[in-house]
Structure 1
């Protein structure tokens, strides 16, 4: 889709990104539409026979933030994921029910100029105020920019293996 921050050129994106500063306007309508799409995808998988407790959501950057937004929405089903951050449109505030105990792995490089480590740390600390703090894991990776590294991939694999033991 066309993204404002990318000079309106098309790129893979769940919703428009207008700016990256803390005061930037957000595409609230696009964020909500993307969250509804994710919920619909999840509902379809459940209809296909996948138990909701065996569905893990994962995303990089905007995708991770979207999944955090969707899972902390008061109507979302349970899910787990890793992420970066999302600001003004995020449904900040305590939640109850099944999503209170979702497991979250949030990974962040310490050299990311696009999404500074401070933003990721802030998100992790805020998450702990409205989900079970013991269920939030925040990992940083030295020397990593807005990308991934082998250690992050291994940590993500361990996280998934712990949440989804093999079914024989």
Structure 2
């Protein structure tokens, strides 16, 4: 599904000051979201659990300052999670720290700052350009493919450091979830699965032909708020239908949450944790 605008934020951190989206209703939604999307107190991580990547990461730019949540034990699996438009990896590192598994490393890179057509060319964190609200709107094909290659480089970095592809889950929220779907489906390495929250499949007309042969074995958790005004839940349902034409249909879970807008909720995070526990057990 093509682009959706700027209320792609998670928990405490929002979009840059001064950014005004092109659809006025978003201003009201954001005001509500400032209160609604605050995580419960118990979701706040311990300060020592969040780190920034350092060391030999110059060949993988997204790792240079990515936010991470380290495992308490030897790390044998990894979750790479991509934030939404206008956000940073820090807010999702905060959220994932509340459901962390002791043997799993969580990596939350930051999108580059680029002009976004849908937001009047304002410069903000964005994985690729967004051009319209309609599923039939033009898409930034070159930008999507470039962003996917950067995420694949991050995956390969983890593989070189001892975590096999089948122990890596790729996930994201909204625009980040969209990129995680496209990247995992076209990745030459057989990943463990995908966590796709409040999102759509970019360049959906190219599938199933564009998918890598190993994509049929991917396990996918797709979650969506039933009151989402930015990426309507029916777009999520259409995405799930398309995904079942690409991967083994029984491997796609599509969960919806009553009363939830373009955000996450404790029930959704519990579902993510359960999914990861089954997909990435201790070894």
Work out whether 1:76 is the aligned partner of 2:188: yes
Q: Which is strand-richer, 1 or 2?
A: 2
Q: Which residue of 1 aligns with 2:245?
A: 129
Structure 2: unaligned runs, 5 residues or longer: 1-113
Following the alignment from structure 1 to structure 2, what is the Cα–Cα distance between the partners of residues 56 and 88?
21
Please state how far the C-alpha of 1:153 moved relative to its aligned partner: 0.3
TM-score calculated relative to the size of structure 1: 0.92
Please state how far the C-alpha of 1:76 moved relative to its aligned partner: 2.9
> Which segments of structure 1 move beyond 4 Å, counting only runs of 4 or more?
none
Superposed CA RMSD: 1.6
Please state how far the C-alpha of 1:47 moved relative to its aligned partner: 0.7
Which is greater in Rg? 2
TM-score calculated relative to the size of structure 2: 0.56
Counting matched residue pairs gives 166
Q: Which residue of 1 aligns with 2:203?
A: 88
Change in 2 beyond 3 A, CA 1:90/1:164: farther
Q: Which is helix-richer, 1 or 2?
A: 1
Following the alignment from structure 1 to structure 2, what is the Cα–Cα distance between the partners of residues 137 and 9?
35
Map 1:6-155 → 2, pairs under 5 A: 6-73=119-186, 75-79=187-191, 80-83=193-196, 84-88=199-203, 91-93=206-208, 97-155=213-271
Q: SS of the residue aligned with 1:45?
A: helix
Please state how far the C-alpha of 1:112 moved relative to its aligned partner: 0.7
Aligned 8 A contact 2:171 2:180 in 1: yes
Following the alignment from structure 1 to structure 2, what is the Cα–Cα distance between the partners of residues 166 and 76?
25
Please state how far the C-alpha of 1:96 moved relative to its aligned partner: 6.5
* Larger RCO, structures 1/2 (Cα 8 Å, 6+ apart): 2
Following the alignment from structure 1 to structure 2, what is the Cα–Cα distance between the partners of residues 98 and 147?
31
Structure 1: unaligned runs, 5 residues or longer: none
Deviates more, 1:3-12 or 1:151-160: 3-12
Aligned 8 A contact 1:2 1:10 in 2: yes
Q: SS of the residue aligned with 1:82?
A: strand
Following the alignment from structure 2 to structure 1, what is the Cα–Cα distance between the partners of residues 223 and 271?
9
Q: SS of the residue aligned with 1:31?
A: helix
Work out whether 1:163 is the aligned partner of 2:276: no
Deviates more, 1:97-106 or 1:84-93: 84-93
